[in-house]
Amino acid sequence: MAELLPAATVFVVEKPAALGAAWLALGRTPALVPNPEKPSPEIAVATTEQINQRSLGLETLAPRELVDLFVAEEEFVQVALRSAAESLASGITLVAAALQNGGRFYYVGAGTSGRLGVLDASEIPPTFGAPPALVQGIIAGGARAFHHSVEGAEDDAAAGARAIVERGVSAADVVCGISASGRTPFVLGALQRARKNNARTLLLTCNPPGDSVPTEFDLRIDLPTGAELLTGSTRLKAGTATKVALNILSTGAMVQLGRVHGNLMIDLAATNDKLRDRAARLLMQIAGGDYESARTRLARHGWNVRAALAADRKA
């Protein structure tokens, strides 16, 4: 882009893409009368937007008191995860079945939720030796949003739908929308498009069951973490619960696919000294022998633990 249009400025649009096309065709930007912003009653009732009575005097607390309060609040994360145990187990089964049949698993989110999805997806190849395309993260605002706040991007449902089309999501795939409120337009737009493509869909939200969040998905995972210590800051308890839930879904699916040996990362990508050391210790633990012998066998097989084990069995 910089080479083709050196004077261009790239930013996230605040108006629908169709308007931008019309402006380009006209050769000018028409004057628009802005619509007055109005509070959203749907967002206002979300539990993640409520006032936490336990943290009303947050700015008056000493550092140790802050720590104690944060740690105490994490109990709500545990309760939320336990309440969602059955749904999380169903999610593992759903994702594993798709991956076993040639499908892919997508996370879709905005802001903190999107970053958590991208983070979890990025860890699958080195941990389980899976191809990068197997588990993918989609974040509103694109790659820039992983490092910088592009919060306005979450309001574009059409962009969410386009992201699904661009990734080629099909009936073989599973798409997990991540939204603390359960109402993020980018996420809902992506899930609706995925359903039209006959993909299986999950909605992971931190609002309790029984509210008005849409339920037209194959599975809904509710993590009712309650009001945040810092009102509305869902990078806190909601973010922690979401991170654990994504760990459960992806790790559980990889276990179902046979990409572990007991609790050992038999398919890890040994791409640095630390991981090559771990691979050698894994091989010693499973097949026996001394450390130097394990490293020699692994080097012979491209530091692939599974291949080294297979060769040992044939010998």
**Angstrom distance (rounded) from CA 16 to CA 8:** 20
Query: Do 227 and 50 meet the contact criterion of CB atoms below 8 Å apart?
Result: yes
- Residue 102: how many other CB atoms lie within 10 Å: 9
- CA 141 – CA 231 distance, rounded (Å): 24
Is 184:205 a contact under the CB 8 Å cutoff?
no
Q: Which residues are catalytic?
A: 123, 154
Per-residue H/E/C for the chain = CCCCCCCCCCCCCCCCHHHHHHHHHHCCCCCCCCCCCCCCHHHHCCHHHCCCHHHCCHHHCCHHHHHHHHHHHHHHHHHHHHHCHHHHHHHHHHHHHHHHCCCCEEEEECHHHHHHHHHHHHHHHHHHCCCCCCEEEEECCCHHHHCCCCHHHHHCHHHHHHHHHHCCCCCCCEEEEECCCCCCHHHHHHHHHHHHCCCEEEEEECCCCCCCCCCCCCEEEECCCCCCCCCCCCCCHHHHHHHHHHHHHHHHHHHHCCCCECCECCCCCCCCHHHHHHHHHHHHHHHCCCHHHHHHHHHHCCCCHHHHHHHHHHC
Tell me the C-alpha distance between 264 and 259, whole Å.
9
